[in-house]
Amino acid sequence: MESNVRVRFAPSPTGPLHIGGVRTALYNYLFAKKHNGTFVLRIEDTDQTRYVANAEQYIIDALAWCNIPFDEGPGRNEKLGPYRQSERKEIYKKHATLLVETGWAYYAFDTSKQLDAERKGHEAKGKNFIYNWHNREKGRLVNSLVLSDEEVETKMKAGENYVIRFKTPQDEILRMEDEIRGNITIDTNTLDDKILFKGDGMPTYHLANIVDDHLMEISHVIRGEEWLPSMPLHILLYKAFGWDAPKFAHLPLILKPIGKGKLSKRDGDKLGFPVFPLAYKNEISGDLSRGYKEEGYFADGFINMLAFLGWNPGNEQELFSLEELTNSFELKRVSKSGAKFSPEKASWFNQQYMQTKENSELTDLFIPILEEKGIYQTNDFILKVVSSIKERAIFIKDFWELSSFFFENPQEYDAKASKKNWKEGTPELMNDLIGLLETIQNFSSENTEKEIKKWITDKEIGFGKVMQPLRLSLVGALKGPHLFDIIEMIGKEATIKRLENAITKL
Ligand code: GLU
């Protein structure tokens, strides 16, 4: 049964979604699912100057790739919608006006020039200008608290630009509770009268955000730490409207790998890792940002890694399926301090998830890479290759590097290894080995191993003398899985051919 838990992810469509945003979405999703609740996507697109047309679709695609779908949102289950703030303008206007009527807000006509002069005047006296009870009714500021109703009306009729400001209460100690940070108190005298509604007919973030959270029946606001300073105003706004406030939880920042400062796109560019889930092309500059998906990360591993950036289960377990994350997730286990991002850990998760994938799934991902190289092999063959190399692979794109010798003769031979292992007498020895191989009918891994080892023992020479040049001839380097498995896979003809090649080339 559905519960009353309703959470929302409320991004502004100003560009691609940073992984910090994805983590906020993930924690909201986990919290909702854990409590049989609803996960809402709301697009906060009231700031027209920062609006980017393809960003909303990017957000939707990113959530889909991460497999954390929203239950309600644009185009989906719109029962308390619309879920795009630009489609709710009238609602905000109505609510802003209501606050003016109840005395919780007022009209302000101050021009930016006037406000600038105020600021400078304060600075000259070594003071900080705050638009609030300190000076809102002193007569220097132009607002409906000091103007008569007629004056206000005249200004409006004349088309003077105005905003609606919140009338922050004076001399109150506000006590608030955050699910992660505990009790917070603030003196309302330090808060300024924030703008709620702008002259262009658009609400500011604060008004739209809390009106929507109320109308969309949001029970828990789970969002980034950068919104913590807005919490007092939001709590006061709920009070002003006479509404119950939701519970709040402010998530810690995701920090740069050095552990200081917020992780930025620039860090990713500099250190060579993506900070976005999907690649993104900036339509204006043409810049392309890399994405986890395109770089070959598995979505489930990526999500597992993100979950651990700020949360821990309280035990040693690190690998969690989405379902396990859902069951284990608790806000009280989210840390207050920033979480250091580690690109190495992101790779580690991918490697771990690689091992949990079915060989057939990995085979399907490897086939297009092979086909691009003009290599066609049976699925069965590729599947065997995959099972022998996946342990050492972090990404699918590593497969070729780890397995090319299964598909083609070595193009070159590792110089250092050749120098060390291809010695006087080696060509003759390899020639003799070819003679032996020609007599072997059963080319299974076990049988060739048995026959070749017996041959070496009979000859009373060291194993390395044969095995190293043989590996070098077949692989081109001293790497790769069990040598006799390679022999079985490539077969008699190719094994002999590669030995002949090495004899002529080395
Ligand atoms: N639109 C805000 C953002 O972009 C939402 C903040 C909130 O969740 O209240 O992060």
How many CB atoms within 10 Å of residue 1?
3
How many CB atoms within 10 Å of residue 89?
14
What was the pLDDT predicted at 228?
Answer: 97
- 361: domain CATH number is 1.10.8
Written as tens digits, the pLDDT of the chain (506 aa) is 678 999 999 999 999 999 999 999 999 999 999 999 999 999 999 988 888 889 999 999 999 999 999 999 999 999 999 999 999 999 999 999 999 999 999 999 999 999 999 999 999 999 999 999 999 999 899 999 999 999 999 999 999 999 999 999 999 999 999 999 999 999 999 999 999 999 888 999 999 999 999 999 999 999 999 999 999 999 999 999 999 999 999 999 999 999 999 999 999 999 999 999 999 998 888 889 999 999 999 999 999 999 999 999 999 999 999 999 999 999 999 999 999 999 999 999 999 999 999 999 999 999 999 999 999 999 999 999 999 999 999 999 999 999 999 999 999 999 999 999 999 999 999 999 999 999 999 999 999 999 999 999 999 999 999 999 999 999 999 999 999 999 999 999 999 999 999 999 98
| Nearest atom (ligand 1) to Cα of 213 | 9
Extract the tokens encoding 55: 């960003």
For residues 292 and 277, the answer to whether their CB atoms sit within 8 Å is yes
Give 24 Cα–ligand 1 centroid separation in angstroms. Answer: 10
Distance (Å, rounded) from C-alpha 41 to C-alpha 82?
11
- Say if residue 397 is in the same domain as residue 439: no
In a domain, 219, yes or no: no
Distance (Å, rounded) from C-alpha 289 to C-alpha 268?
10
- Say if residue 289 is in the same domain as residue 321: yes
For residues 195 and 164, the answer to whether their CB atoms sit within 8 Å is yes
Confidence (pTM): 0.93
Total count of domains within the chain? 4
How many CB atoms within 10 Å of residue 372?
9
Please state the three-class secondary structure of 62-107 as a single string: HHHHCCCCCCEECCECCCCCCCEHHHCHHHHHHHHHHHHHCCCEEE
- Say if residue 156 is in the same domain as residue 174: yes
- 155: domain CATH number is 3.90.800.10
In a domain, 204, yes or no: no
Distance (Å, rounded) from C-alpha 58 to C-alpha 17?
8
For residues 224 and 213, the answer to whether their CB atoms sit within 8 Å is no
Closest CA to 293 of 450, 63, 453, 7: 63
Q: CA triplet 452, 454, 459: central angle to 5 degrees?
A: 95
Distance (Å, rounded) from C-alpha 37 to C-alpha 30?
10
Pairing of strands 105-108, 163-166: antiparallel
Pocket test for ligand 1, best of 223, 235, 251 (most atoms within 8 A of CB): 223
Distance (Å, rounded) from C-alpha 165 to C-alpha 170?
15
In a domain, 14, yes or no: yes
- Say if residue 347 is in the same domain as residue 363: no
- Say if residue 325 is in the same domain as residue 282: yes
In a domain, 84, yes or no: no
The set of protein residues with a Cβ atom below 6 angstroms from ligand 1 is 10-12, 44, 209, 223, 227
Q: Quick check: is 265 catalytic?
A: yes
Distance (Å, rounded) from C-alpha 308 to C-alpha 315?
12
| Nearest atom (ligand 1) to Cα of 230 | 9
- Say if residue 263 is in the same domain as residue 348: yes
Give 50 Cα–ligand 1 centroid separation in angstroms. Answer: 14
- 457: domain CATH number is 1.10.10.350
Contacts for 339 with CB less than 8 Å, ≥ 6 apart: 252, 253, 254, 255, 308, 309, 310
Distance (Å, rounded) from C-alpha 274 to C-alpha 259?
17
- The last residue of one of the domains, among 407, 438, 471, is 407
Determine the structural domain holding residue 150 and report its residue range: 89-197
- 337: domain CATH number is 3.40.50.620
For residues 470 and 499, the answer to whether their CB atoms sit within 8 Å is yes
Q: What is the CA radius of gyration of the chain?
A: 33
Check 265, 340, 345, 497 and give the catalytic one: 265
Closest CA to 488 of 429, 412, 404, 406: 406
| Nearest atom (ligand 1) to Cα of 205 | 1
For residues 40 and 83, the answer to whether their CB atoms sit within 8 Å is yes
